């Protein structure tokens, strides 16, 4: 655990971290989210009059990853080499997994997290007419590679696949 938060200056004001001295390396990150919904909403997914909620959510997640620095104030704009979003129907909802990669001075954790989050929000948006009680849960970083802090892998997942 770092001794201080990196996005604050000595004066306590928020600042963007200077990454100019960092090495350009291959960096990857994966994130996930879970959208809990009732069985009736799951069964209605293929018949949504707005279109396929899972495909729209997948595309929304990819598009959102590319806009991360516009959404999160201290994120650096980076050139993404790849972004993927996979969506799986589970027994109690929809599981979302995102992956992002780049060659840069800074990591892609936020891009992966934004992709998973926006995909989950899009599923909610596409299905809210059936149930306003849909829940977005467990938005987490599942892994990352590259950079000074090295590799990270989360070890727990709670979604139940069908």
**β partners of residue 29:** 100, 144
Q: Can you spell out the DSSP letters for 83-124?
A: EEEEEEEETTEEEEEEEEEEEESS--HHHHHHHHHHHHHHHH
Active-site position among 11, 18, 52, 125: 125
- Percentages (nearest 5) of helix, strand, coil residues in the chain: 30, 30, 40
Check if 52 is active-site. Answer: no
Q: Which residues are known to be catalytic?
A: 125
């Amino acid at each position: 655990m770092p001794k201080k938060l990196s996005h604050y200056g000595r004066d306590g004001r928020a600042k963007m971290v200077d990454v100019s001295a960092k090495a350009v390396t291959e960096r990857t990150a994966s994130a996930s989210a879970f959208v809990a919904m009732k069985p009736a909403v799951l069964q209605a997914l293929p018949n949504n009059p707005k279109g396929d909620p899972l495909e729209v959510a997948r595309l929304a997640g990819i598009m959102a990853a590319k806009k991360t620095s516009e959404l999160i104030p201290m994120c650096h704009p980076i050139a993404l080499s790849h972004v993927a979003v996979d969506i799986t129907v589970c027994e109690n909802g929809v599981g979302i997994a995102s992956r992002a990669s780049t060659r840069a001075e800074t990591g892609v954790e936020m891009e992966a997290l934004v992709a998973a989050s926006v995909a989950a929000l899009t599923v909610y948006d596409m299905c809210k007419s059936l149930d306003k009680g849909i829940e977005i849960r467990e938005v987490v970083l599942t892994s990352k590679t590259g950079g000074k802090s090295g590799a990270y892998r989360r070890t727990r997942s709670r979604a139940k696949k069908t």
